[in-house]
Each structure stands twice: as C-alpha cells, then as structure tokens.
Structure 1
Amino acid sequence: MKFTESGLEGVKAELSRLDDLMESKGLVRAGQWDYERVTYDKKFSMIEGTFYLRIQGYAVEGDVGRGQAVIELMTPLLGKHYYPHGVEYGDAEEFPIQVVSKSKSLIQEISDTLKTVQL
C-alpha cells in the first residue's frame, strides 16, 4: 500500500536529524542503508500477521556512509511480511485498519515535524 500525498514525497532533510526524528517515532534504520539510500521501518506484529511501515529516501547531497547527507524522502509504503519470502507491498494486500490508522498518524507527525525543520 502506498501512502500517496503523504506530505513526505520530495521533502529533504539532513540525515542525522532524520535519524533522530524517525527513531523518536519508532522507525529504525539499522542496517537498511547504502551510500546513497536509507530505509526506515516500523514493525507491527499482531494476530493478523506482521506488517511494516517503510519510509525510504536517497541522498541528494553527501554520503550516507559518512553520516553526512541530505536525504530526499519517497512515498511511504505499508507491507505485509510472508515467511520466508519477505514483505509484499501490492495493492491486493489487506491491512488491519488499526495498522493503517497508526501508519497514517505517524506519517502525519513526521511530515509536520519536517515542515518546521530547515536544512
């Protein structure tokens, strides 16, 4: 599921500020990066399955590996994990309403915070 018109698409932020903000909202980057891209994930485990809110971005300036980069964010995604194959983000997937609501709320909070942060 794509969260189009989330307010995050195209937003640019400094990597360390973005890391702090995402961590404060429960999204982790951990090993999900290379020198040009980052991925932040929030895991939702429930009876219906395991779901991930994923916010990705890519470096428009600097180098992620050095910890000094400006990241441009992409459209947030919600996916369902299928063992052992991985996470599916397709339009045919069904998601619990509470996961969708919580994801929308987190995206809005992140978007609102980023609007007040200058590069």
Structure 2
Amino acid sequence: MEQLSSALDGLQMKLSQLAERLEASGFTLGSNWEYDHGYYDYNLPADGTYYFLRIPVKTTGIGEIDDPDALVSVGTPLVLGHQYQRSLDDHANIGNLSASFNQFQEPEDKDTTIPDDIIEAAKQKLAEAEVLFVRS
C-alpha cells in the first residue's frame, strides 16, 4: 500500500457531487462500503496483479453513504496491489455451503510491492480527477 498526497484529502461535499466527478473520471464506488464510509476505486491495468487507486470517503454525520445528499469527507488516496494465485487455491477443498459464501481465491500476496510505473500511473489518474474538483 502506498499513500499519495492529494488536493482532495480533507475535501468535504455532498456525496452526489463527489460521485458525479469521480465516476466521470472512471472511478466506481467499491461494493465493500458501509453506511458511514466507502471507497472509490480505479483499476490500474497490469499483468497478473490487481492494482487500484483508492479514494476513501466517510460521512461527516449528515446522511449515509447510500444517500446522495450525505455530506462526505475525502481521505488520503492510496494505491493497493493484490496478486492472485496462478495455481489452485490452497483452500479449494470446501463444501457447497461454504463455497456459496466464499467464492474468491485467496491472494498470493494481498499487499504486494507496487512498481514505480503503477505509482506514477496512479498519480497521473489522481491528478486528472483533481482537475474536476478545481474547476468547480
């Protein structure tokens, strides 16, 4: 994981305004959101490893993440890497009931080293997103 300095860090606005700008830049609200916080992710293409530029957001006490009028605060953006196993999963021998809840392969390295070119790509994408906030 690598944190990135950003003009977005600490920004407060309505979730709908934030979402409109980030989604226009290719970010999506990750499915792992909770009512008081969530993460806007941008998938950085790479071979064999998933890298994401992640922008955390949390509510400031007014509304919840599923409410477009919620007031949110942006946290420090970061780059994450997850390298998935190329071979069979070590825990693949499970029953049907367990498999219905745990459908995903365990990462080979869930906090893999992030190459410099991926960090630079993340910084460039973050700069593109920041421009959408400066113009308003």
The two structures share one fold, judged by TM-score above 0.5: yes
Residue 115 of structure 1 aligns with which residue?
A: 134
C-alpha distance in 2 between matches for 1:87 and 1:14: 32
Q: Is the 8 A contact 2:80 2:114 kept in 1?
A: no
1:44 is aligned to 2:44: yes
Q: 1:109 to 1:49 in 2, by over 3 A?
A: same
C-alpha distance in 2 between matches for 1:15 and 1:115: 17
Structure 2 unmatched runs, 5+: 85-105
Q: CA deviation at 1:68?
A: 2.1
Deviation per residue, 1:27-53 (Å, 9 max, x gap): 110423221112111112322622111
Greater share of strand: 1
Deviation per residue, 1:51-84 (Å, 9 max, x gap): 1111101011222223321110011110111322
C-alpha distance in 2 between matches for 1:87 and 1:109: 27
Fraction of identical pairs, as percent: 21
Q: 1:67 to 1:87 in 2, by over 3 A?
A: farther
Q: Which consecutive aligned stretches of 4+ in structure 1 deviate over 6 angstroms post-superposition?
A: none
C-alpha distance in 2 between matches for 1:51 and 1:17: 26
